[in-house]
Amino acid sequence: MSKDPNWRIIAPVKQQIYFAILLSTLSAIATVALLVAIAYLVQALLQQQWSTLSWTLISLIVLTIVAYVLRLQAFSQSHYAGYRLEEILRKQMSLHLGQLPLGYVTTQGAGAISKVMQDDVRALHSFVADSTPLYARAYVVPVLTFAALLWFDWRMALLSLVILVCGMIMMSLVMRNHQEMNQLYNTARENVNTAVIEYVQAMPVVRTFDGGQKSFKRYEHALLSYKEILTRWYRESGPAARLSMLILNPLPTFVILLAAGSYLWLHEQISTQALVASLLLGTGMVEALMPYMSLYHLIEKSKVSATRILDLLAVPALPQPELTQRPEQYDICFEQVNFRYNPQQDLVLKDINFHVPALSFTALVGASGAGKSTIAKLLARFWDVDSGQIKIGNVDLRAMSSQVLMSNVAFVFQDNFLFFDSIRNNIRLGLAHASDQDVEAAARLAQAHDFIMALPDGYDTAVGERGTSLSGGQRQRITIARAILQNRPILILDEATAFADSENEALLMAGLKNLMQGKTVIMIAHRLSTIQHADQILMFDQGQLIEQGPHHLLIQQNGAYAKLWQAFQQARDWHIDISSDPQPASPTTSAALQGAQNHVS
């Protein structure tokens, strides 16, 4: 297989590309033949050879049509190949993404992956559609024209070759640091794009707090760096580039060949026919090298995109068992689990052991970064553990296929996602066969039916992109209705009420209560008041399980959880008193608020 990433990535359409190059080559042959025919036409006119003139004119017309049709077909084939490649690559990457660990997708981010699937694939389309016909023009035409020049006059052929070589030397000077400068240019351009997106997206925040000065300076710095790269590139390659363009320009080449040809013609060392042919072919040979610059830029640009696409496709898929097992019970067991996000990092979970009985309610609490969300995501197999086992019903997660695992586990995230579709279809996600009655019943249990019916189109109301037409609490209740409709035996709640106001929290808790009925539930607790009645509470700190038990026993132990509960109580009772002069906060209150902020937020 070719080491060039461009040719590796376009393998699915290479036959069509080769055909496009062949058509372009035939078009180039017809074009060179057309120039030769013009030389014969001039000779026939000067010598008044009317019979020769007629067939030469016919040849010119035929060759013109053939060259045009072949070139048009070459571009058509290359563009069709480009569109096919876009479809193939996007389907291939979509299927591959569906087999990757969910942890990879979340850590890479939607922006980076969508850039590969959109921008980089589009760059490959440009390479296939626009560059493949240029191969014939950049490589075939100079060879054909030089051979034709040798046929008419070897001296004019050598002179044209000297001009071509001089132009190539200048061009090589232009491209001597091209790879390094191209990398710097691409990096600077990415920085500008990032700064623009950040500046625009954060506009409400930056204008409120600093008038946009800091973010604008970051944007301005990115622009200045981009300008410096372009200026340096122009300064280093500018003189050689201008000289190469001068040498390879048709007019200077024509003047040089005309001067040399006129001298030979005046001394009767070259025929009129050969002179005209040399002027046409020599100019065409040198000019044909100009597309090489465009071709080179297209190739280098597409290499970056092709490499990123190949890197994405090379990410190992989540291993699947040959024979999947299905759990018969729905208790959950973590046995000596250790986990790190990558081999270079320290362990984020250390020797985790706990058991969640079937149909029980377990809460995970601890400071930010303690490992709560990692526990929940490992249960959904976002990643595989480094050592130890995670079991559902005594079946290791790695012994289940992803389909079997996900058919048993439902998630309600803090950051929910709705598609740009109707409310009905968002609730029905993954269950296309669910009836309207089932959808409405799920919405009622999620405390969402009343606000849905108050919308202009009820369940057929479009929620907008990412559900922006709904409030956070309303979106969360739609997500709860979706989970109720799925009715999976294990439920994971990741701070599902984190951003709810008092009214929405009551509705959310009512919906969650209906959702939790008859299920094994693991809840990552944001507000400790929601987990007092949990069957067990697991307290995490710095990736370790330090306490576990029901609320009342943990309070009696007066350990880390008891201190967290005390801090939560003090923070909940705190209020702003504007009726009296402000007093400095006591060390105890400050410590309590700090503790609540660290542990609860």
Per residue in 64-123, pLDDT (tens digit) is: 999 899 989 998 998 899 899 989 999 999 999 888 888 888 888 777 788 888 888 888
Give per-residue pLDDT as tens, 370-418: 888 899 899 989 999 999 999 999 999 999 998 999 889 988 877 677 8
Distance in angstroms (rounded) separating the CA atoms of residues 342 and 304 = 25
Query: Is the pLDDT reported for residue 42 higher than 70?
Result: yes
With beta carbons less than 8 A apart as the criterion, state whether 29 and 144 touch: yes
457 burial class (0-12, 13-18, 19+ CB within 10 angstroms)?
Answer: exposed
Going by DSSP bridges, is the β-strand pair 520-524/490-494 parallel, antiparallel, or unpaired? parallel
Per-residue pLDDT, 585: 47
Number of domains comprising the chain: 4
Per-residue pLDDT, 503: 56
Per-residue pLDDT, 339: 94
3-state secondary structure of 288: coil
- HSE-up (13 A, CA, CB side) for residue 107: 11
When mean pLDDT is compared across 296-305, 439-448, 588-597, the lowest value belongs to 588-597
146 inside domain: yes
Distance in angstroms (rounded) separating the CA atoms of residues 348 and 338 = 8
What is the rounded average pLDDT for all residues in the chain?
Answer: 80
Band (pLDDT 50/70/90 cuts) for residue 518 is: confident
With beta carbons less than 8 A apart as the criterion, state whether 543 and 350 touch: yes
305 inside domain: yes
Phi and psi torsions of 323, nearest 5°: -125, 110
Q: Which of 469, 486, 503 is the last residue of a domain?
A: 486
Per-residue pLDDT, 502: 55
Band (pLDDT 50/70/90 cuts) for residue 588 is: very low
**Can you give the residue range of the structural domain that contains 88?**
1-153+273-318
**Mean pLDDT, range 239-264, rounded to an integer:** 73
70 inside domain: yes
Phi and psi torsions of 188, nearest 5°: -65, -40
Statement to judge: residues 48 and 189 lie in one domain: no
Phi and psi torsions of 185, nearest 5°: -65, -45
Per-residue pLDDT, 384: 92
Mention every residue, 6+ apart, whose C-beta is less than 8 A from residue 221. 195
**Mean pLDDT, range 550-562, rounded to an integer:** 91
Phi and psi torsions of 126, nearest 5°: -60, -40
Distance in angstroms (rounded) separating the CA atoms of residues 401 and 322 = 9
Distance in angstroms (rounded) separating the CA atoms of residues 163 and 252 = 10
Statement to judge: residues 76 and 186 lie in one domain: no
Band (pLDDT 50/70/90 cuts) for residue 269 is: confident
**Mean pLDDT, range 160-174, rounded to an integer:** 73
Statement to judge: residues 342 and 404 lie in one domain: yes
3-state secondary structure of 13: helix
With beta carbons less than 8 A apart as the criterion, state whether 494 and 373 touch: yes
Distance in angstroms (rounded) separating the CA atoms of residues 429 and 414 = 18
Band (pLDDT 50/70/90 cuts) for residue 292 is: low
Question: What tokens does 310 get?
Answer: 């190949």
Statement to judge: residues 335 and 404 lie in one domain: yes
Mention every residue, 6+ apart, whose C-beta is less than 8 A from residue 9. 85, 89, 124, 306, 309, 310
Band (pLDDT 50/70/90 cuts) for residue 229 is: confident
Statement to judge: residues 35 and 92 lie in one domain: yes
With beta carbons less than 8 A apart as the criterion, state whether 93 and 57 touch: no
User: Sheet of 332-339: strands edge to edge?
Assistant: 349-356, 332-339, 387-392, 395-396
**Mean pLDDT, range 523-531, rounded to an integer:** 80
End-to-end CA distance of the chain: 53
Is the backbone of residue 549 left (phi > 0), alpha (psi -120 to 50) or beta? left
159 inside domain: no
Question: What tokens does 391 get?
Answer: 């079991």
Place of tokens 């014939």: 136
Residues of the chain with pLDDT > 70: what percent?
A: 80
3-state secondary structure of 37: helix
Query: Is the pLDDT reported for residue 473 higher than 70?
Result: yes
Distance in angstroms (rounded) separating the CA atoms of residues 519 and 487 = 9
Query: Is the pLDDT reported for residue 323 higher than 70?
Result: yes
When mean pLDDT is compared across 55-69, 294-308, 356-370, 488-502, the lowest value belongs to 488-502
With beta carbons less than 8 A apart as the criterion, state whether 502 and 491 touch: no
Is the backbone of residue 519 left (phi > 0), alpha (psi -120 to 50) or beta? beta
Q: What is the CATH number of the domain that holds 72?
A: 1.20.1560.10
594 inside domain: no
Statement to judge: residues 221 and 265 lie in one domain: yes
- The model's pTM is 0.71
CA-based nearest residue to 363, from 177, 553, 524: 524
583 inside domain: no
Statement to judge: residues 64 and 186 lie in one domain: no
Per-residue pLDDT, 176: 63
Band (pLDDT 50/70/90 cuts) for residue 600 is: very low
Statement to judge: residues 342 and 438 lie in one domain: no
Is the backbone of residue 393 left (phi > 0), alpha (psi -120 to 50) or beta? left
3-state secondary structure of 270: coil
When mean pLDDT is compared across 34-38, 129-133, 380-384, 443-447, the lowest value belongs to 129-133
Distance set, CA 462 to CA 152, 173, 456, 591 (Å): 73, 58, 10, 46
**Mean pLDDT, range 241-264, rounded to an integer:** 74
288 inside domain: yes
Per-residue pLDDT, 597: 44
CA-based nearest residue to 402, from 320, 315, 327: 320
568 inside domain: no
Statement to judge: residues 369 and 404 lie in one domain: yes
Give per-residue pLDDT as tens, 175-203: 666 666 666 777 777 777 677 666 666 66
Query: Is the pLDDT reported for residue 47 higher than 90?
Result: no
3-state secondary structure of 249: coil
Statement to judge: residues 304 and 340 lie in one domain: no
3-state secondary structure of 292: helix
Per-residue pLDDT, 237: 62
With beta carbons less than 8 A apart as the criterion, state whether 352 and 335 touch: no
CA–CA–CA angle 166, 168, 170 (5° rounding): 70
- Residue of 577 and 136 predicted with greater confidence: 136
Distance in angstroms (rounded) separating the CA atoms of residues 340 and 238 = 50
Q: What is the CATH number of the domain that holds 454?
A: 3.40.50.300
Statement to judge: residues 280 and 145 lie in one domain: yes
Mention every residue, 6+ apart, whose C-beta is less than 8 A from residue 75. 20, 129, 133
Residues of the chain with pLDDT > 90: what percent?
A: 19
Per-residue pLDDT, 399: 93
- Amino acid letter at 555? I
Distance in angstroms (rounded) separating the CA atoms of residues 160 and 153 = 11
Query: Is the pLDDT reported for residue 601 higher than 60?
Result: no
Statement to judge: residues 351 and 495 lie in one domain: yes
